[in-house]
Amino acid sequence: MAEKSPDQENRHALNLFICWELKQALQETAHQFDRTVADIVRSALRLSLPILRGAGLAREQLPGELAKLLREESISRGKEVAAEAREL
């Protein structure tokens, strides 16, 4: 068996079943940018993965950060109410 070049060693196939509308959108985009559909899919994945990862991280951190923010807000409001009560 022939040895693979370094470029071929780093390539992996991925078969996807997608709806007809998505395939049409990919083909139109590929035509618009004079690229192959595979190039468009690779670019879309490369660009969207950091966004998806960031969204997942935000989803994990949101409850804790939101609770902390609301706790600080309620403490701040409590101090404001107490200050207003003293003024009366």
Which domain, by its residues, includes 82? 19-87
Q: How is residue 49 written in tokens?
A: 């993965």
Question: How many angstroms separate the CA atoms of 22 and 20, rounded?
Answer: 6
- For residue 73, tell me if it sits in a domain: yes
Question: How many angstroms separate the CA atoms of 26 and 38, rounded?
Answer: 9
For 59-73, what is the mean pLDDT? 84
- For residue 9, tell me if it sits in a domain: no
CB 66 within 8 A of CB 56: no
Question: How many angstroms separate the CA atoms of 3 and 5, rounded?
Answer: 7
Q: What is the pLDDT of residues 16-30, one digit of tens each?
A: 999 999 999 999 999
Report the number of distinct structural domains present in the chain.
Answer: 1
CB 69 within 8 A of CB 55: no
Q: What is the pLDDT of residues 27-62, one digit of tens each?
A: 999 999 999 999 999 999 999 999 999 999 988 988
Q: What is the pTM of this model?
A: 0.60
- For residue 13, tell me if it sits in a domain: no
